[in-house]
Amino acid sequence: MQALCGIAALTLLFSLPVCSADLNDDLIGAARRGDLPEVQALVAQGAIPDAHGDDYLTPLILAAQNDHADVVRFLLARGADVNFKSRLGVTALMSVARSGGLDTMEALLERGPSVDSRNANGSTALMRAVERGKQDLTEVLLQHGASVNLKDNLGRTALMRAATHGHARIEELLLNQGANVDEKSSAGWTACMLAATSGHSDALEVLLAKGADVKARTNLGWTAEMLAANKGFSKIVQRLRQTPETKTARQ
């Protein structure tokens, strides 16, 4: 009798459905890997598309981060929240802007996400795409209305990030969309200063062509020329000395 009871108990144990928490964990892993068939199977079994751990990274955010466009489309079709934020305030759109591709970004944009949403550092998807030098993603974000003059928590704009990393072509895109060439960060830095101190001649030329104020000063009194000289960029120093003062600077 005891043996029969034991067999019955084991049969019941193995017939129980998989714990939903386990399904959700498996879904998070499958989305990260880009395993679409497994993602589909897990959702069919009851896994939640917006499941997350303590970091609040959902399957959608992880799929976008790893550039799995097919998984992103499937999760969105199953109701995943396109604007869901991780613990650090990162959305799927921000994730793909930093490390994904155009197809994945377009899959997200089809769902009308908040393109100007900010993470805990105040960064937007546009800022992230610009920083990584992703011209194609920058273009499509601008086409979908991304704001060019928003600032992060340090007062830095997308243009400042482009200047810092020497992305001259992206600077042109931003300036053509109305980026303020002489906007200052919280520390008083302009894009011109950042290009100069980073040694990016091409990026500097784009800014100078748009009338960047070469005599502007940081909160500590540094000009672009001083910053370039401090780093030993003699050619940039000479170029800045040859640049006429702007109307703003003379005033």
pLDDT tens digits for 178-231?
A: 999 999 999 999 999 999 999 999 999 999 999 999 999 999 999 999 999 999
Burial class (CB in 10 A: 0-12, 13-18, 19+), 12: exposed
Tell me the three-class secondary structure of 95-146, residue by residue: HHHHHCCHHHHHHHHCCCCCCCCCCCCCCCHHHHHHHCCCHHHHHHHHHCCC
pLDDT of residue 94: 98
pLDDT of residue 250: 38
pLDDT of residue 163: 98
pLDDT of residue 20: 74
Total-model pTM:
0.88
pLDDT of residue 246: 52
Pair 196, 233: CB distance under 8 Å:
yes
User: Does the pLDDT of residue 85 top 70, yes or no?
Assistant: yes
Average pLDDT over residues 227-250: 83
User: Does the pLDDT of residue 24 top 60, yes or no?
Assistant: yes
User: Does the pLDDT of residue 109 top 60, yes or no?
Assistant: yes
User: Does the pLDDT of residue 7 top 70, yes or no?
Assistant: no
Average pLDDT over residues 162-166: 98
User: Does the pLDDT of residue 55 top 70, yes or no?
Assistant: yes
